[in-house]
Amino acid sequence: MGPSGTGKTTLLKLIARQLYPDRGQIIVDGVDIATLSQRELYELRKRFGMLFQNGALLTDMSVFENVAFPLREHTNLSDRLIRLVVLPKLHAVGLRGAAELMPSELSGGMARRVALARAIVMDPDILIYDEPFVGLDPISMGVIARLLRRMNDALGISSIVVSHDIKELAEVSDRSFLISDGHVVAAGTPDELRNDQSDMVRQFMHGLPDGPVAFHYDAPDYKQQLLGTHK
Amino acid sequence: MTRLLREVFSPALEFVRNFGAMVLFFVQLLRYTPWTFVRRFGLVVGQVYNAGALSIVIIMVCGLFVGGVLGLQAFANLERFNAEEATGILAAFALVKEIGPVITALLFAGRAGTALASEIGLMKATDQLSAMEMMAVNPMQRVLVPRFLGGVISVPLLTAVFTMVGLLGAHLVAVELLGVDVGAFWQQLQQAMDVEDVYEGIIKSIVFGVVASLLAVWEGYSAVPTAEGVGRATTRTVVATAIAVLILDFMITASLI
């Protein structure tokens, strides 16, 4: 968790090596991910599932084919077996009936749920979610949050979730980190964070307008700018 | 002074930097080409359909009218020397060696090249390429190389179609409308044209196919991932292809004469 522009998505991209670190180490499952060759990286990524902010569905494929895509790429399963794997995943996100729709026919929330089905279709060890609750209606949000928690417990997956949704996150997370200006400023269980008395954590957890995190972007003097003496 | 120099030279430096990046990108495309051709043949065939088969109508219509204009112009000028039977020769030389490959490449850039650039640019802007990377699927093998190969294969085939339909257009105008003797039209054409002339057209069409496809795929891949960025990439595809094709046409012609 953390204020906007603080580097949460950048951190996820670094963990997945979509971005290359300038310095330092990123250890994923005991391996420094920056040292991997492309082949080794792809082998590691087969154990990843990633949910992008906008879903990132492949627009020239149906919902079913989007979810089946990793299976078709990495396995030799027959169409029948692929069907047996894909339909339960779509059922889990409530979109089995939308299997034949194209991404352009889905709402933003539905697209993100399809993307979630695609992210879990290979039964990954690590799931990375970038703002999974944005744009979801309350029912979908609750279902997805519970699904996220259930998958973690039942399949032994590690999930990394970036979100602003403190309430939903508190229900599903074991441990939360608050990031600001590229640094971890607080860590602990959701309860610990909620009861933390530091200004930064209180402001964020309780949505307070005043505190160390400025609501306004750096700007010149308001009066001067209105009067035109400053650009 | 330093600032002035920087402002004068920075566009040139930017061009050199972009050109270098494109060359490296081209090397990557070539590196993955054999694997993609063998293991992703279905995708390549699909892209030949998208870039080639779907362009056939526009190529045939343009070829017919370009051939017709060549027939008209050749007839009008040769008639003054009582050499109108040579209309076929003039039209055929122009079509096979120059106009066929050049106009086909320009039409390809306008129809298929822009489609390729905007499709790839939008895939980048909507994180589809990143999503593939995260699913351990190399976008170079899955998206870029099949589209590049689709274009490289399509352009020479489209050039052949354009040239043949162009000759038909010249025939229709010169023989059917203006009364040139049909035997003289085709016999003179056959006698005058060597296989080397056809080779020149083939070489040009292959080179133009590589350049037009490379530029389309590169511009899409390097597009700024915004609506404006994709729009600019699409425009750049047409402009860069037109300039590159015309320069290369001159260079190839000069080297073969």
Banded model confidence at residue B4, pLDDT cuts 50, 70, 90: confident
Chain A residues touching residue B135 (CB < 8 angstroms):
45, 69-70, 73, 118, 122
For chain B, the average pLDDT equals: 92
Residue type, B145: V
In a domain? residue A202? yes
CA-based nearest distance B224→chain A, Å:
17
Chain A residues touching residue B122 (CB < 8 angstroms):
59
A51: closest chain B residue by CA: B131
In a domain? residue A16? no
For position A86, what pLDDT does the model report?
95
A52–B136 C-beta distance less than 8 A: no
Cα separation, A134 vs A136, whole angstroms: 6
pLDDT at B1 over 80: no
A52–B127 C-beta distance less than 8 A: yes
Q: Which residue has the higher pLDDT, A205 or B146?
A: B146
B130–A18 C-beta distance less than 8 A: yes
For position B78, what pLDDT does the model report?
87
**Same domain membership, residue A66 and residue A155:** yes
CA-based nearest distance A160→chain B, Å:
15
Tens digit of each residue's pLDDT (9 = 90 or more) over B229-240: 999 999 999 999
Say if CB B21 and CB B74 are below 8 A apart.
Answer: no
Say if CB B185 and CB B174 are below 8 A apart.
Answer: yes
**Same domain membership, residue A175 and residue A143:** no
Domain boundary among A140, A164, A188: A164
**Same domain membership, residue A180 and residue A112:** no
Burial A76-104 (b: 16+ CB within 10 A, else e): eeeeeebeebbbebbebbbbbebbeeebe
Selecting from B128, B133, B136 the residue whose C-beta is nearest the C-beta of A58 gives B128
In a domain? residue A37? no
A45–B127 C-beta distance less than 8 A: no
Task: Indicate the length of chain B as a whole number.
Answer: 257
In a domain? residue A62? yes
Write the ipTM: 0.83
Say if CB B148 and CB B120 are below 8 A apart.
Answer: no
**Same domain membership, residue A65 and residue A145:** yes
For position A76, what pLDDT does the model report?
92
For position B100, what pLDDT does the model report?
95
Domain boundary among A113, A130, A164: A164
pLDDT at B255 over 70: yes
Domain boundary among A164, A192, A215: A164
**Same domain membership, residue A226 and residue A177:** yes
Say if CB B222 and CB B94 are below 8 A apart.
Answer: no
**Same domain membership, residue A184 and residue A136:** no
**Same domain membership, residue A179 and residue A212:** yes
Cα separation, B210 vs B149, whole angstroms: 8
Q: In chain B, pLDDT over 70 holds for what percent of residues?
A: 100
A42–B134 C-beta distance less than 8 A: no
CATH number at residue A145: 3.40.50.300
* H or E element at residue A27: strand A27-28
Tokens at residue B103, please?
Answer: 């106009």
For position A231, what pLDDT does the model report?
60
| B 115-154 residues with CB < 8 A to A | 122-123, 126-128, 130-138, 142
Banded model confidence at residue B102, pLDDT cuts 50, 70, 90: very high
Beta bridge partners of B185: none
In a domain? residue A75? yes
**Same domain membership, residue A124 and residue A97:** yes
Tens digit of each residue's pLDDT (9 = 90 or more) over B168-215: 999 999 999 988 888 888 988 888 888 888 999 999 999 999 999 999
B137–A70 C-beta distance less than 8 A: yes
In a domain? residue A150? yes
| Structural domains counted in chain A | 2
CA-based nearest distance A122→chain B, Å:
9
Cα separation, B202 vs B243, whole angstroms: 20
Chain B residues touching residue A50 (CB < 8 angstroms):
131, 134
Selecting from A38, A50, A54 the residue whose C-beta is nearest the C-beta of B134 gives A50
Q: What are the pLDDT tens digits along chain A (231 aa)? A: 888 888 888 888 899 898 988 988 999 888 898 899 989 999 888 888 888 888 899 999 999 999 999 999 999 999 999 999 999 999 988 899 999 999 999 988 888 889 989 998 998 988 998 888 877 788 878 878 888 888 888 878 888 998 877 777 877 888 988 888 778 888 888 888 888 888 878 887 777 777 777 777 788 888 888 888 766
Average pLDDT of B101-129? 94
Say if CB A38 and CB A18 are below 8 A apart.
Answer: no
Residues 6+ positions from B162 with CB-CB distance below 8 Å: B59, B60, B62, B63, B66, B95, B100, B103, B104, B107
**Same domain membership, residue A122 and residue A175:** no
Q: How many CB pairs under 8 A join A and B?
A: 49
Selecting from A45, A58, A118 the residue whose C-beta is nearest the C-beta of B136 gives A45
In a domain? residue A139? yes
For position B191, what pLDDT does the model report?
87
**Same domain membership, residue A188 and residue A160:** no
In a domain? residue A130? yes
B136: closest chain A residue by CA: A42
**Same domain membership, residue A230 and residue A209:** yes
A54–B127 C-beta distance less than 8 A: yes
A126: closest chain B residue by CA: B134
For position B222, what pLDDT does the model report?
94
Domain that holds residue A117: 46-164
Cα separation, B44 vs B67, whole angstroms: 31
B137–A73 C-beta distance less than 8 A: yes
Chain B residues touching residue A52 (CB < 8 angstroms):
127, 130-131
Site from B36, B47, B124, B127 to mutate, A interface, most A CB atoms within 10 angstroms:
B127
CA-based nearest distance A46→chain B, Å:
6
Selecting from B123, B126, B134 the residue whose C-beta is nearest the C-beta of A48 gives B134
